[in-house]
Each structure stands twice: as C-alpha cells, then as structure tokens.
Amino acid sequence: MSAPTTMRVFIPLTIRKRNGRPKIVPPTDIVPDTGGVDPHIMKAIAKAWSWRRKLDTGVVATIDDLARAEGVTHRYVGRTMRLAYLAPAVLEMLLTQRAAPAISIKEMIITADLPWAEQEAVVFGAA
C-alpha cells in the first residue's frame, strides 16, 4: 500500500461584496493589508476629470450630451463629476500617496460639496 499523494491545505478566506460582486479576500496574517486606494475610486476620479475636461474644452456642450455620448444617465454624470472638485490635498493623498479613504465613493461624492478645508478630515477619517 502506497502513501496518499494528495495533500490538503486550508487557507481561511473571507468573501466580501464589492460593488455587488463577491470578492475573495485572503487573511491579513498571510497576505498583509497594504491599504491603498480602491481602483474603483481611482477610475471614478479619472472619469470625472475626463468629463470635466470635455465640458471645459467644448467637446460636449452639456451634461446631457456627455451622458448620451458615454451611454450613461445624466444623473450619473452629474454625481460622478463632483469628484473632479475634491480638494487638491485630498487628490494628492489619494492618487500620489495612495492613502486609503475612510469613506465610500458615494460618501466621497457628497464630501466634494464641502469646503476644501474640511474635506481631508472627512475623507480620511480624522473627523
């Protein structure tokens, strides 16, 4: 009789939902959590700046034209474009220093309406 050739390894994984989809997250003691910015946040900020640039340069005349060209609703464009008006200090920390925000994208969109002096504390949880 020979020895079994199968070996079982147990790694405790966690399943979390991100944007409605399940995501498998490894435990932090095996793979350390390095923080960082969620790629969805970075993509939304890039989209907001691109749309702002299109409006500023006259490529599109209105948010409705932009929404039609992008195949999304004008409400989505209006909401997402607020991210282009985040404080420079917040953008610096998110995009250059890769500091993880303490709030979600939805909350960050709402935060963009606050004065620049207050945004950093709200986005990074010092409030």
Q: Identify whether 5 is part of a domain.
A: no
Residue 41: alpha-carbon gap to chain centroid: 1
Q: What is the mean pLDDT of each run of 10 residues along the chain (127 residues)?
A: 72 75 68 64 93 94 95 95 94 86 91 93 81
Q: How many CA atoms lie within 13 A of 25 on its CB side?
A: 15
Q: Which structural domain range is residue 93 located in?
A: 36-123
Q: Identify whether 20 is part of a domain.
A: no
Domain count, the chain: 1
Q: Identify whether 64 is part of a domain.
A: yes
Q: What is the pLDDT of residue 36?
A: 66
Q: What is the pLDDT of residue 26?
A: 66
Q: What is the pLDDT of residue 29?
A: 57
pTM score, two decimals?
0.69
Q: Which residue has the tokens 């992008």?
A: 70
Tens digit of each residue's pLDDT (9 = 90 or more) over 63-100: 999 999 999 999 999 999 999 999 999 999 888 888 88
